[in-house]
Amino acid sequence: TYDLVSAFETIYFWPDIGETFKEVFRIIKPDGRFMIAQGTDGTHPDDEKWLATVEGMSVYNASQLKEYLLNAGFKSVEIFKKENDYILVVIAKR
**CATH numbers and ranges of domains, the chain:** 2-93 (3.40.50.150)
**What's this model's pTM, rounded to 2 decimal places?**
0.88
Instruction: Give the pLDDT of residue 86.
Output: 83
pLDDT given at position 46 = 76
In angstroms, the Cα distances linking 14 to 24, 37, 84 are 12, 14, 27
Please give the pLDDT value at position 87: 85
How would you write the pLDDT of the chain (94 residues) with one tens digit per residue? Answer: 899 999 998 998 898 999 999 999 999 999 999 999 988 877 777 767 776 777 878 889 999 999 999 999 999 999 998 887 788 999 999 9
- Yes or no: say if 30 and 57 are a contact pair by the CB < 8 Å rule: no
For the chain, the C-alpha Rg in angstroms (whole number) is 13
Query: Nearest to residue 63, comparing CAs of 49, 82, 77?
Result: 77
